[in-house]
Structure 1
């Protein structure tokens, strides 16, 4: 057994975790709790966030239309602050109301300069994303998406042009707080390779569902919610980019993530 201490004001809470050599799941040792980014480290961080009341709020929209729009306008090389700005911009124009705006109107809105961190910027891929957003809003206005599970909603969203497993899983996780899907972006992939809970021979492009299954099995092994773990790993890996790159530069991890899209989670 190993202990991890969590300090809250003048109180100390000890978290008991298995020994470093014990296995979370077959072939994956817990590692030392202080060793970033070991499985024990992730378990400790989840429990620490819970005790501190620092739940990561990953929902972006007030309606499913808005959630789809926010996720669809992010990712694919678009910085999270730009994707969020575009979402708020078109929402302010009325994109997610009862009447679905036509593609040409959405394109006009996405072409308008936006203020981001005190400077005016233009949204990349406005034409492509206007087409995708128009199709998504039309489908959401005329059909009833299943919401019985994350996978059911995810699979329904996959029929929308421009939405693949990653974006569809992002929407499902955010909207339903779902633990049966995973958002496998570059940060999660790197964590999985460093922590050895992902098979390094698999790729997101060809083996998304297999990697997702491995992530969910890993979260169950830790005894935490997949949605909670996904959000926390993303935040920590994104915030520790220099450390992650240093570890990877030492040759400890295959550079499998080079072909991945950049993070699709705005604020995740």
Structure 2
């Protein structure tokens, strides 16, 4: 048994987890609590952050259409901060109702964005304007009362929306724990823990990998939506060169 401690609003709380040699699931050991990227490490991060109410709210938009928009505007090749800037501009201009034309959306996306370092342009503006205008035009008629996986199935029929984006929308909008966002960050973390095989490919095996991740989250008794968000946030901050290394679990709370 490993005994850890967390400072929760000035009160020290104990967290007990299995020994580092015990298995979380076949082939996956808990690992030492002071070693980053182990199941013990992610369990500690999840418990500590849940008490501090960090990563507890996933919604980025106020409606399903807005959630579709913000997730479509983010994703691969687009920094999260730039995706949010684009989303806020389109929302402020009333272009997320499902009635805006592709030309209207494109005109707003190609206009430079002012950031602290100067002006920046949104990548893939033409492609995203096409996806967004067409997807929102159909999505305004979707049943918003569907169960998470049923809603995801509906979203998968929309232009530009694949399993990852659809899962992202559903996780955010419904606070769902039966879907997962298998992106490059989460995939890298799960390979490090031996939850995923190194040669596994989310593009070809998305739902198989999602099932493995959901089983892992259940095994360490952490909500999948919370664990997904924590791993994404941590891994994107430290970059793709991350490798397992002995570090203080307390130090990691700075990320």
CA distance in 1: counterparts of 2:145 and 2:151, whole angstroms: 5
CA distance in 1: counterparts of 2:91 and 2:189, whole angstroms: 34
CA distance in 2: counterparts of 1:143 and 1:13, whole angstroms: 45
Give aligned pairs, total.
245
CA distance 1:94–1:10, change in 2 (3 Å)? closer
CA distance in 2: counterparts of 1:225 and 1:9, whole angstroms: 22
Q: What is the CA distance between 1:14 and its match in structure 2?
A: 1.0
Partner residue in 2 for 1:30: 30
Secondary structure of the structure 1 residue equivalent to 2:241: helix
| Contact map agreement 2:50 2:56 (CA 8 A) in 1 | no
Gaps of 5+ in 2: 245-255
Secondary structure of the structure 2 residue equivalent to 1:179: coil
CA distance in 2: counterparts of 1:126 and 1:222, whole angstroms: 41
CA RMSD of aligned residues (A): 1.8
Give a deviation string over 1:126-181, Cα, whole Å, max 9, x none: 111111001111112233255312x1111111111111111111000000011111
Partner residue in 2 for 1:258: none
CA distance in 2: counterparts of 1:228 and 1:178, whole angstroms: 10
Give a deviation string over 1:66-113, Cα, whole Å, max 9, x none: 11000001112011111111111111110123x611111111111222
| Contact map agreement 2:105 2:129 (CA 8 A) in 1 | yes
Q: What is the CA distance between 1:201 and its match in structure 2?
A: 3.4
Partner residue in 2 for 1:170: 168
Partner residue in 1 for 2:179: 181
Gaps of 5+ in 1: 249-268
CA distance in 1: counterparts of 2:22 and 2:132, whole angstroms: 47
Among 235, 243, 246, the alignment partner of 1:247 is 243
CA distance in 2: counterparts of 1:174 and 1:76, whole angstroms: 17
Alignment of 1:37-52 (within 5 A): 37-52=37-52
Among 181, 199, 202, the alignment partner of 2:200 is 202
CA distance in 1: counterparts of 2:177 and 2:154, whole angstroms: 17
| Contact map agreement 2:64 2:144 (CA 8 A) in 1 | no
Partner residue in 2 for 1:95: 95
Alignment of 1:1-268 (within 5 A): 1-97=1-97, 100-117=99-116, 119-145=118-144, 147-149=146-148, 151-241=149-239, 245-247=241-243
| Contact map agreement 1:85 1:116 (CA 8 A) in 2 | no
Give a deviation string over 1:200-252, Cα, whole Å, max 9, x none: 232111100100000000000001110010001111112222xx61527xxxx
Give me the TM-score of the superposition, normalised by structure 1. 0.86
User: Which is worse superposed, 216-225 or 54-63?
Assistant: 54-63
CA distance 1:66–1:237, change in 2 (3 Å)? same
Q: What is the CA distance between 1:10 and its match in structure 2?
A: 4.2
Secondary structure of the structure 1 residue equivalent to 2:78: coil
> 4+ residue runs of structure 1 moved beyond 3 angstroms?
none
